Chain A
Amino acid sequence: MSSTPPQIPHNPKTLTHAIGLSLILGLALAMPYLLDKLGLDYYLGTLTKMMIYGIAACSLNLILGYGGLVSFGHAAYVGIGAYAVGILISQGHQNAWIDIPLAVMLCAGFAFMIGFICLRTRGVYFIMITLAFAQMLYYLSNSIKVFGGDEGLSIKSRLDFGVQLSSKSDVHLYFVVLIFLLLSLYFIHRIMNSKFGQVIKALKDDDVRVDSIGIHGFKYKLAIFVIAGAIGGLAGALMVNQQKYVSPNLLHWTQSGILMVMVILGGVGTLSGGLWGALLLLTLESVISEYTLHWQFYVGWILLAVILMAPKGLSSFSVLWSRVSKVGQFKHKARAIKP
């Protein structure tokens, strides 16, 4: 008697999912034109920035949400990616197809070296040493005057992608970032549903048990650490491209904290949690800043409330929902079998 999970045709949940996703995608594609019609073009840059942070937060979610590795130094990879592309552009190399892969590979390399040392530690020591490495890079970027030092690096032009998706630079960049966001999400979706992803999820529950069944956990932790660093670097590359500016502040540990906040707000260990968290946090920041300079005060309280009451972030509610609907699925199948 096989026990494959019920394959219910026309599963209402997948259908709603598909419809929902299509709507969101359609909205995203139409956004530049909508904003233009409403005279709110300015917000396109804000949306682009939100998506970039979304990519960064999703990359952190890989190691933090899925893997259970509390890395407090993730901003470092965003920073390395940003500086790499910023420096390349200021030296006259504007080809996106060279610059971005280079930046991503540089980040992967750093993540490999840093992960190799940090992943030997556990618990709070791991948190602290990831923080320490990020601080090191922060101070380095602050002191190296050639790359701008504490004033940061401004660049005059943006990356050249070969194709122009729009005559307006901002709209073109919006679509570029949207494409990278979708690709990143798809990539994350594939790896987390693979055998590799299964190991990562197991490592979060009990990393010693993973070793005890014959899988060298360290190798997998390092691999996901590198992947997360690489995608973080991608976010950084896009960020410097959008802002035309990068400064050491991007690597400051408070930035790592902000990324963690995005992950927790949006949903730990869910595919798009990082994206929603980024959207939510940055929207909160914009909206509250309209009324007061002290937006961090209010965001602090909101964050505190979320931690205390919904520990897995907004996804707590979705996890509850999916468990409820799974029960519904089984009942449905049972009814279908019985005569």
Chain B
Amino acid sequence: MTGILILEQALNGLQFGLMLFLLASGLTLVFGIMDMINLAHGALYMIGAFLTAWIVQFTQSFFLSVFLAVILTSLFGMLLEKTLLKTLYARDHMSQVLATFALILILNESVKMIWGTDLPLSAPDYLSGPVEIMPGLMYSSYRLVIIATGLLIALLLYLLVSQTKMGAWVRAGASNRSMAMAMGININALFTSVFGLGAALCAVAGAMLSPLLAVQVGMGENILILAFVVIVIGGIGSVWGAFVGSILVGCVDTMGRSLLPFLFREFLPPQWASAAGPAVASILVYVLMAVVLFIKPQGLFNQRS
């Protein structure tokens, strides 16, 4: 186990964390502003991936397909919000959980009916080779592109939330929705836009991660849980909390899975290590969440007043 390996895994963690951030930020905003739990957020991620994989068959260009898929998913998200989801804002959390759970069932099966259970998608050829970013460390150029994309979007999101008028409305809504409404902010348009933005971010993550993780029905659920863990750790409504949480969760999960078995093998008898390694690695993130919630039951950077 060398430093190079650790560094490589740290980069993988960063890469995964940044994509997780794309999902988590949308989720935390929807939750923070509209007070709605949306389990179907993962389905939007899946739809983004499927659309990209489908469109690329016609355009032959990876990034163009991603672009188109993002727009389509965003539009779909906004349509969903305007028709169904807005009726859930006033409802209690349990109803929201169940309604969006129903939505997952419907969307998963719909995708299956249209495209089947999976579609192939690979990274563009010109990015398939590794790049030497440090003496002795070769890293996948595609993963570097993901990291760059993630950082760029994070920066844009930060500028949007902190510098623009819309961002101010979003922050007001996240910390005190009724006050924001009383101050005359066009709440319906804001909600729809926030949802559309969240859907777009999901699509980017879905499309970008697919060459690494595979495009398949149900891909949304696994990453959704992690996104929820992130926003719970980070604090609901806080985009900064989502960022910190995502990087934390991304690194803990990725590095845990790859490095922990090695670590265990150094200190434990082999038959224990091979069982304990993967087991502990997979629950590490949840242990992290339980610890955070035990100390700060409202998350690290909770925004709600």
Do A and B have CB atoms closer than 8 angstroms in the complex? Answer: yes
> How distant is B219 from chain A, measured CB to nearest CB, in Å?
14
How many residues of chain A have a CB within 8 Å of chain B?
Answer: 42
Q: Is the CB of B299 within 8 A of A125?
A: yes
Task: Please measure, in the bound complex, the distance between the C-alpha atom of A146 and the C-alpha atom of B276, giving whole angstroms.
Answer: 11
Task: Please measure, in the bound complex, the distance between the C-alpha atom of A301 and the C-alpha atom of B105, giving whole angstroms.
Answer: 9
Residue of B nearest to A301 (CB): B106
With contacts A129-B289, A139-B279, A145-B275 taken as known, whether A124 is within 8 angstroms of B99 at the C-beta atoms is: no
Residues 156 to 184 of chain B near chain A (Cβ within 8 Å): none
Is A321 interfacial (CB 8 A cutoff)?
A: no
Task: Please measure, in the bound complex, the distance between the C-alpha atom of A142 and the C-alpha atom of B108, giving whole angstroms.
Answer: 24
Task: Please measure, in the bound complex, the distance between the C-alpha atom of A140 and the C-alpha atom of B277, giving whole angstroms.
Answer: 11
User: Can you list, as one digit per residue, whether each of B252-288 has a CB less than 8 Å from chain A (1) or not (0)?
Assistant: 0000000000000000000000010011001100110
Q: Is the interface of A mostly helix, strand, loop or mixed?
A: helix
Residues 207 to 250 of chain B near chain A (Cβ within 8 Å): 221, 225, 228-229, 232, 236
Q: Is the CB of A128 within 8 A of B232?
A: yes
Q: Is the CB of A120 within 8 A of B275?
A: no
Q: Is the CB of B94 within 8 A of A120?
A: no
> How distant is A76 from chain B, measured CB to nearest CB, in Å?
12
Other-chain contact of A297, B93, B97, B105, B279 (Cβ < 8 Å): B105
Q: Is the CB of A297 within 8 A of B98?
A: no
Is A12 interfacial (CB 8 A cutoff)?
A: no
Q: Is the CB of A127 within 8 A of B294?
A: no
Is A294 interfacial (CB 8 A cutoff)?
A: yes
Interface residues on B, range: 35 or more
Task: Please measure, in the bound complex, the distance between the C-alpha atom of A117 and the C-alpha atom of B293, giving whole angstroms.
Answer: 9
Q: Is the interface of B mostly helix, strand, loop or mixed?
A: helix
With contacts A123-B93, A131-B225, A254-B221 taken as known, whether A300 is within 8 angstroms of B290 at the C-beta atoms is: no
Q: Is the CB of B98 within 8 A of A307?
A: yes
Task: Please measure, in the bound complex, the distance between the C-alpha atom of A261 and the C-alpha atom of B236, giving whole angstroms.
Answer: 26
Give the residues in chain A near B93, CB-CB below 8 Å.
70, 123-124, 127
Give the residues in chain B near A202, CB-CB below 8 Å.
none
User: Can you list, as one digit per residue, whether each of A299-334 has a CB less than 8 Å from chain B (1) or not (0)?
Assistant: 111011001100100000000000000000000000
Further 13 A-B residue pairs, CB within 8 A, beyond A117-B294, A127-B37 = A121-B297, A123-B93, A132-B229, A140-B279, A143-B279, A257-B101, A260-B101, A261-B101, A264-B98, A294-B109, A297-B106, A300-B104, A300-B106
Chain B positions near chain A (C-beta within 8 angstroms): 31, 37, 84, 87, 91, 93-95, 97-99, 101-106, 108-110, 112-113, 221, 225, 228-229, 232, 236, 275, 278-279, 282-283, 286-287, 289-290, 293-294, 297-299
**What are 5 sample pairs from A and B whose C-beta atoms fall under 8 A apart?**
A72-B97, A125-B297, A143-B282, A257-B101, A308-B99
